[in-house]
């Protein structure tokens, strides 16, 4: 019996001009499967609800990454730009050999403290894009980040919905509720869309409120590596991970930084593998000659929207 080709094998077996079609077909199947998996799961009701919620979030991220990758393949760039769907994509080149760490979806007990310890050890500034609901439940962690030298607290919506799936009024509420909880007169006004999925209306809203939108040059794809330390071909295709790094999270991040010659790095503090590998990422980047900075540095301003 002939075995079906994997997305990677399918792409390799076809001429370059056919690869886009092959990849699109592979992504369509993967995105459809991810969507069915996402909707088929019942809401968690056990004492392990938090773990199930984490797994559900990972499934949602997988679905959005696959859909996003497919969208890029089948939609004209000008149409995508006009739709404002992916404002988190950064086309501007980063400052050469400078990287900026960003951590989404916290604060998270245990994780936030550990990250702060490493940042202090290596004298690194990072930006924590906090979910309002998480911050409300863990105010002591918000204060801990604020009290740490040069660390930045930023807006990542109230409860992390996909802005492509909620109406404009709900999008505004997500931004404003987070702002009401976390904003201070001294805090910079930085906003990152959940899943990187944006809208023209919310772009206008956040700019009117004085925010800059922060995307990323380097997607660490940590959500996919989290469970086993390895990712499958579908996830690699969606995240742009080279085949040799499907089992090497640190190698992927360093190679991506090398390819872009620096940039803003997207990570999530809720993933255990991220915490496990964070120090290795830092030391490898330092060994490669990269300098850690902040998204607030003048050199990064052209990368913000």
Per-residue pLDDT tens for 127-137?
999 999 999 99
Give the orientation angle of helix 272-287 with respect to helix 249-260, to 10 degrees. 50
> With 70 as the cut, is the pLDDT of residue 5 above it?
no
Instruction: Tell me the pLDDT of the chain averaged across its residues.
Output: 86
Mean pLDDT of 92-112: 98
Name the pLDDT band for 54 (thresholds 50, 70, 90).
low
Residue 1 has pLDDT above 60, yes or no: no
Q: What residues form DSSP beta bridges with 265?
A: 101, 218
- Predicted local confidence at residue 184, as pLDDT: 95
Confidence check: pLDDT of 97 > 80: yes
More confident residue, 22 or 267: 267
| 219, β-bridge pairs | 266
Cα–Cα dist 11/5, whole Å: 9
Q: Which fold has domain 98-303?
A: TIM Barrel (3.20.20)
Name residue, tokens 């079609």.
21
User: Which band of pLDDT confidence, cut at 50, 70 and 90, is reported for residue 8?
Assistant: very low
Q: Is the per-residue pLDDT at 158 higher than 90?
A: yes
The pLDDT tens digits of the residues spanning 165-207 come to 999 999 999 999 999 999 999 999 999 999 999 999 999 999 9
Distance CA 65, CA 42 (A): 22
How much is the pLDDT for 59? 78
Six token digits for residue 60:
């949602």
User: Strand pairing partners for 152?
Assistant: 127
Smallest CA-to-CA distance from 34 within 1, 59, 71, 13 is with 59
Domain ranges of the chain: 7-83, 98-303
CA distance 178 to 132: 5
Q: Are 266 and 104 in contact (CB under 8 A)?
A: yes
Q: What is the pLDDT of residues 270-301, one digit of tens each?
A: 999 999 999 999 999 999 999 999 999 999 99
Tens-place pLDDT, residues 213-234: 999 999 999 999 998 999 999 8
Report the pLDDT value the prediction gives residue 116, as an integer from 0 to 100. 99
Task: Check pLDDT > 50 for residue 139.
Answer: yes
Confidence check: pLDDT of 34 > 70 = no
Q: Which of 23-32, 39-48, 165-174, 240-249 has the lowest mean pLDDT?
A: 39-48
């Amino acid at each position: 019996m002939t075995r079906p080709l994997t997305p990677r094998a399918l792409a390799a077996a076809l001429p370059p001009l056919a690869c886009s079609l092959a990849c699109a077909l592979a992504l369509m199947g993967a995105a459809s499967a991810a969507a069915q998996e996402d909707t088929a799961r019942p809401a968690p009701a056990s004492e392990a609800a938090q773990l199930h919620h984490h797994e559900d979030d990972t499934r949602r991220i997988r679905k959005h990454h696959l859909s996003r990758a497919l969208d890029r393949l089948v939609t004209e760039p000008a149409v995508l730009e006009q739709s404002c769907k992916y404002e988190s994509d950064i086309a501007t080149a980063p400052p050469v050999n400078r990287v900026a760490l960003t951590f989404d979806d916290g604060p998270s007990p245990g994780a936030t403290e550990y990250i702060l310890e490493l940042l202090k050890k290596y004298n690194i500034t990072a930006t924590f894009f906090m979910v309002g609901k998480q911050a409300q439940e863990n105010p002591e962690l918000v204060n801990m980040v604020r009290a740490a030298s040069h660390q930045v607290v930023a807006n990542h919506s109230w409860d992390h919905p996909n802005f492509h799936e909620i109406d404009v009024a709900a999008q505004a509420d997500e931004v404003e509720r987070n702002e009401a909880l976390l904003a201070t007169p001294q805090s910079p006004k930085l906003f990152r869309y959940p899943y990187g999925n944006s809208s023209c209306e919310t772009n206008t809203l956040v700019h009117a409120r004085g925010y800059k939108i922060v995307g990323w040059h380097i997607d660490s794809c940590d959500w996919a590596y989290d469970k086993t330390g390895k990712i499958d071909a579908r996830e690699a295709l969606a995240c742009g991970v080279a085949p040799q790094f499907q089992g090497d999270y640190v190698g992927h991040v360093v190679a991506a930084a090398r390819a872009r010659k620096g940039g803003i790095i997207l990570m999530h503090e809720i993933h255990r593998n991220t915490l496990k590998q964070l120090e290795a990422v830092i030391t490898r980047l330092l060994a490669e000659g990269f300098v850690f900075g902040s998204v607030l540095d003048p050199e990064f301003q052209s990368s913000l929207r």
